Chains A and B, each alone.
Chain A
Amino acid sequence: METKILEERKYDPNWEIWSEKGNLSPLGYKIVKGQSGHRLDRLSQAEYFISTQAHGTLYHHSCGGLSQFYRGLLKKELWGTFCPQCGFTYMPPRSHCWNPDCRLTKCEWKRLPHEGVVHTYTIMGFSAAPFLSMLPFILVFVRIRSANTTIAGRMKGIDPADMACDMPVVLEFIDEPRGNPMDFYFRPKEGVKTARTSKEVERLRKQLEPVREWVKKNFGG
């Protein structure tokens, strides 16, 4: 049967070309003199040829049985799944219940409340390549109210020094969702005050300074 497109957000067709650019063709090289040798007490020098190549592609990822979750994001709604047999509620969603007693019972969809609790968090001073320009940011694992799992996300609207485990939060959406877990983020539900000592607050601020400087230097603003 032919696949019909029901809705589409188009991407710049140039991405097809950009992403394939390079394709492992040799771009440049370096010849270097470097260290060789099996142990630090047996080092020698040798010369090496280093070749530089690029390789990329586009991925077209079907979200399968979880498509409802992503379509919900476009409407600024949070859809999770639950097992009709044991009642376990999944956020992130799963199509099948993992409880061994439920023998892969098919889960059902339900809307989940836009609030929860920070189970744990970290303040990121470094990241994988795609997120460097956003540093520093707060990564949280939030248990959405009524869920039996926690979901990873971003925390906004708080001084990193005020972060604490078990903090109540609300979930909010960005203005123009794109069907991606970055469409939503969390904010503190109520007024917060730091659980850290003043020495710890000062130390954390000092730890964050070089991160901010580095991002400014590399990405501007």
Chain B
Amino acid sequence: MRQRVAIVGAGMSRMDLPRYELAEELVAEALTELLEDTPDLNINDIDCHIASYFSDHFEQQLAMHWIINDYIGLSSKPVFRVENGGATPLDAVIVAYWGIVTGQYDICLVTGWEKMSEVHTPKVNEFIALASDSDFDFPVGGFYSGYYAAMAVRHMHLYGETEEDLARIAVKNKNNALKNPYAQWASQYGKEISVEDVMNSRLVAWPYKTMDCALISDGAAVLVLAAEEAALKLTDKPVWITGVGLGSDTMRPGDRVDNPVWRGRFAECEESYPDIWSKPLSPYPEMTNLASVRLAARKAYEMAGITDPLKEIDLMELLGPYTGIELAMYEDLYLCPHGKGKELIRNGEVEMGGSLPVNISGGVMGQGHPVGATTIAQACVAFWELREEIPDKFGHDDMQVDGAKTAVVQGHGGTGAVGAVCVLQR
């Protein structure tokens, strides 16, 4: 029988651009919170350290995790870095989970951070674009906002959502962030926005305006995972990792149209494809959706015994760097039939108070997007939700989902080159 694995502690820094502290100081800020909340945990008890940061370019520092590791007093412990684009932080959690589930370690620390403020915004985008194909996609002027925008344009073409539908997702996420004292949007902008505000924000790559896009951030987040016996010594409120799934797709989104590996794999999605002449040989994921995430979700739900995600999941934190991809991922994460993502935002089902609130934290466009920390930070919020600690952490109970038992955290990298899903349950 598999070893049960729980998250026993969580902590995150405040997200902002810039945070003037060093990366290691931001990790220390997050870890201090975790240690305060987990008084029975000693740093010496940690068996292994899995570290997550996305880019060596932002700080011109390779092997940054060695700096972090000794800074927090772990210099005798095994440490290594997980790097998988935007999926890096959630994949780091999954690697720590593997370390425990195999019986190798009892207690694993996961740290994640990114400092993106040292270079100017177009250079940040260039460095991120180096994680796209730098032989064909980047040299013609592509970068992530452009790739995702083109994917959204195709999705809109096939399934008919409007710029306003996308804007509603930005409004939800950014307004959620205003209630989150760790959130960058709360200090950077600090007031409620409307669909009109999104529509009037500066064009980045049509249909995306600045408010449709993820933030650029400095920040850090940490989690401690433990095997059942150790977990129950450290906390009386463990949050169990009950489902884990991963998947992948092509590096270049443009390669996906006829990809032979997808043919016939997603009958449920192919039926909804409109009857048009340009239908590719692989109608799902096409360039519109993330098959890597669908496979990851399928696996994670199966492991956790989830059969009706919209009903059984109480809250979801997903990595939606652009509004359109959040909408597409409602479909990929089985919250609705393929092509119907727009209905969830139109009906308010993914809002706080709806049947499945998505990105209560504000997500990457509200809480912040220090890439290597992002989904660890979102997992922190999910952890606090499941322990009903949001009133204490946020200073009010507006964002606490009462009685939450099941949360899902999702991550992906590239334009869905890799996908990851974790199911958390109390």
Contact = CB atoms under 8 A, between A and B. Distances in A.
A39 B136 contact: no
B421 interface: no
B305 to A, nearest CB: 31
Contacts of B129: 128
Interface stretch (A13-21, A104-112, A118-126): A118-126
Contacts of A88: 258, 260
Contacts of A100: 260-261
A26 interface: no
A151 B140 CA distance: 10
A181 to B, nearest CB: 5
Contacts of B141: 124, 127-128, 131, 134, 137, 139, 154
A130 interface: yes
Contacts of B347: none
B181 A41 contact: yes
A92 B143 contact: no
A150 B133 CA distance: 13
A99 B261 CA distance: 7
A78 interface: no
Interface band, chain B: 35 or more
A201 interface: no
Given A120-B287, A165-B154, A180-B139, A148 B205 contact: no
Nearest to A128: B126
Contact of B122 (A53, A132, A180): A132
Contacts of B208: 122
A40 B188 CA distance: 11
A88 B120 CA distance: 42
A36 B26 CA distance: 10
B126 A122 contact: no
B157 A165 contact: yes
A103 B246 CA distance: 24
Given A40-B186, A148-B257, A154 B140 contact: yes
Interface stretch (A2-10, A169-177, A205-213): A205-213
A4 B129 CA distance: 34
A165 B278 contact: yes
A74 interface: no
B203 A207 contact: yes
Interface in A87-118: 88, 92, 98-101, 117
B60, B145, B199: residue with the most chain A Cβ atoms closer than 10 Å: B145
Interface string A197-209: 0000001100110
Interface residues of A, number: 66
Contact of B150 (A34, A139, A181): A139
A200 B205 CA distance: 15
B24 interface: no
B157 A92 contact: no
A100 B265 CA distance: 15
Nearest to A101: B260
Interface in A145-175: 148-154, 160, 164-166
B29 A120 contact: no
Given A38-B29, A148-B258, A149-B255, A139 B142 contact: yes
Contacts of A32: 20
The 10 closest A-B pairs by CB, nearest first: A125-B203, A122-B149, A128-B126, A120-B154, A150-B254, A129-B122, A148-B258, A123-B206, A48-B20, A207-B203
Interface of A: 24, 32, 34-41, 46, 48, 50, 53, 55, 63, 66, 86, 88, 92, 98-101, 117, 119-132, 134, 136-137, 139-141, 143, 148-154, 160, 164-166, 180-182, 203-204, 207-208, 210-211
